[in-house]
Amino acid sequence: MRVRVANQTYFKADPQWRGVFVDKPVSNLGVQIDYFISPNLFITGQGLAAYAGKAGAYMVGEVGLGTKWAITDNWFVEGEALLGAAGGGGLRVGGGLVAQGNASIGYQITDALSILATAGRMEALKGDFKANVAGISLAYQFTGFTAK
């Protein structure tokens, strides 16, 4: 299992994405949890809340699938597809159902610790909310118990 502390910033991709402060990006802080079902495939979940950008009580929770591929011993790339619920802060998410796709490049600092830079897109399935996403996360890989 891997736990990531993540920052994601949303940037306007539709002029009607927010009710007010339409030119102000929204910065979110939260946690992502990944469970690897194979070396290259993981189930992921994330929960984030706005802390900047005049987006008040905005929160999002999503689950999905991801894939991870090594480039070198330390560098890797990832892709994720997520679906979930979001609301608050004047972001026009309609009924709250949102989808997000991310691509990341990461660097393995130690066996357990890595850092990832992410670019993505998030959209409300029913609503005007469309945002380009930039993120950074610090990840810790729990190794658990192993048989001898």
Q: Digits of tens for pLDDT over the chain (148 positions)?
A: 999 999 999 999 999 999 999 999 999 999 999 999 999 999 999 999 999 999 989 999 999 999 999 999 999 999 999 999 999 999 999 999 999 999 999 999 999 999 999 999 999 999 999 999 999 999 999 986 555 5
In terms of residue numbers, what domain contains 41? 2-141
**Count: domains in the chain:** 1
CATH no. for residue 107? 2.40.160.20
Phi-psi region of 90 (alpha: psi -120 to 50; beta: other; left: phi over 0): left
**Number of other CB atoms surrounding residue 144 within 10 Å:** 6
Look up tokens 């192993």; give the residue: 146
Q: Is residue 147 part of a domain?
A: no
Q: Is residue 25 part of a domain?
A: yes
Answer yes or no: are the C-beta atoms of 46 and 137 closer than 8 Å: no
